[in-house]
Structure 1
Amino acid sequence: MANTYHLWLAPTGPAYDILMEAITDLSRAYHAPVFEPHVTLLGSLPSTVEDISVRCLELGESLSPIDILLTEPGLADQYFQCVFLKTQETTALMNAHELARKTFVKDPSPYMPHLSLLYGHYSLELKDRITSTLSQNLRINFTSDMIHLIRSKSEHPVDWTSILTVPLSG
């Protein structure tokens, strides 16, 4: 698989610790991969890493720090959206996604901001049970003041690397 690139907004401080613990606990319980907590701003960017890096810097200069508000748990029938926390579709977040899309991709696919807690293919019953037992403490807010440019060499989180962080300075 060729490298693919993604833009993430990531928690820091206590929010990072709480979410990382939840992801690690679920991954251990269900034999799933561990990954860094993040909200994908835009995924699967086309182009070269040099071009993406330049555009990423431009994007950072255009955006202010973004408040991320995690709401109720959700689940989907997709590996990377197995169990997640919905992210409130604030004006700032949706505008940031729209600007990222205009900067990189002319792709009109719908954007559903979320923070994944578990990757995998599990039965609906199991995903329902997991979401019903998630702690209310996970419904937290954090401010993301950086874009992380992630290079993925495969679908496995062990092959995902942050290669550039850009402050949101707009």
Structure 2
Amino acid sequence: MASSSSDPATTPTEFISLFAVPKGALAQQLTDEISHLAHREAAPPFPPHVTVAGAAKSRAEALQLAEQLAGRVKPYRINFTGVSAGTTFYQCVYLLVAQEEGTMAAAAAAREVFGLTGAPPYMPHLSLLYSDMDQGERQRVVEYETSRLYGDSPATRLLESGFDVGSLQVWSTPLDDSSLKSWRLVGEVRLVGQ
């Protein structure tokens, strides 16, 4: 059953994202690391997450579709493979996620349920930094984060190599807000697929 933090029935169409979210000590470590990088690079902080899908929907419709999806997707594991950089604001520096069966099946089911035909190939990742910095700066941050999360220091070494996904969170994530201050948790669905 979806839990909701607001009345979704009166919400107009907006951009909705489905997130797989780490829990416990790993979630706190990643939250701290994202905040550290945001402060260091003058960028916005955000909650740690792996985006499963994103679409323009009303909150009510998104919650209904997320419930349908949860009935089709069984719990799965996300495994990190290292730090990398992309070319866009939302894929600046991230932990790359292994394209394993459970991760890819969840994304494929989400695309089908949410009607996302023609979307680019799914590249699962957990962002550490959102920024429009140039590629040289991105590579500098990749090296810095690789040292912190995979180096010898027990104070910053990644606590776990990934996390188990037993639920998906539904978020309102307006694309025109690069400050991310308007992001809101809409609800969460427990994965019950067989």
Residue 23 of structure 2 aligns to which amino acid in structure 1? Answer: T
Q: Quote the residue 2:132 is aligned against.
A: 121
Residue 92 of structure 1 aligns to which amino acid in structure 2? Answer: G
Q: Quote the residue 2:161 is aligned against.
A: 140
Among candidates 150, 154, 163, match of residue 171 of structure 2:
150
Sequence identity (%): 26
The RMSD of aligned alpha carbons is: 1.4
Deviation per CA, 1:112-139: give whole Å up to 9, x if none: 0000000011122221111112121336
Q: Quote the residue 1:96 is aligned against.
A: 106
Which deviates more, 119-128 or 149-158?
Answer: 149-158
Q: List, as ranges, runs of 4+ consecutive aligned residues in structure 1 with deviation greater than 3 Å.
A: none
Ranges in structure 2 where 5+ consecutive residues have no aligned partner: 1-12, 151-156
Tell me the distance in 2 between the aligned counterparts of 1:103 and 1:123: 36
Q: Quote the residue 2:184 is aligned against.
A: 161
Pairwise CA distance, 1:140: 2.0
CA contact (8 A) 2:14 2:56 kept: no
Q: Quote the residue 1:30 is aligned against.
A: 41
Pairwise CA distance, 1:63: 1.4
Q: Highest Rg: 1 or 2?
A: 2
**What's the secondary structure of 2:181's corresponding residue?**
helix
Pairwise CA distance, 1:152: 2.1
| TM-score of the pair, normalised by structure 2 | 0.82
CA contact (8 A) 1:46 1:104 kept: no
Tell me the distance in 2 between the aligned counterparts of 1:113 and 1:152: 18
Residue 135 of structure 2 aligns to which amino acid in structure 1? Answer: L
Tell me the distance in 2 between the aligned counterparts of 1:54 and 1:123: 40
CA contact (8 A) 2:171 2:185 kept: yes
Q: Quote the residue 1:19 is aligned against.
A: 30
**What's the secondary structure of 2:61's corresponding residue?**
helix
| TM-score of the pair, normalised by structure 1 | 0.93
Tell me the distance in 2 between the aligned counterparts of 1:36 and 1:167: 19
**What's the secondary structure of 1:35's corresponding residue?**
coil
Pairwise CA distance, 1:98: 0.5
Which deviates more, 11-20 or 146-155?
Answer: 146-155
**What's the secondary structure of 1:129's corresponding residue?**
helix
Tell me the distance in 2 between the aligned counterparts of 1:47 and 1:14: 32
Count of residues in correspondence between the two structures: 168
Ranges in structure 1 where 5+ consecutive residues have no aligned partner: none
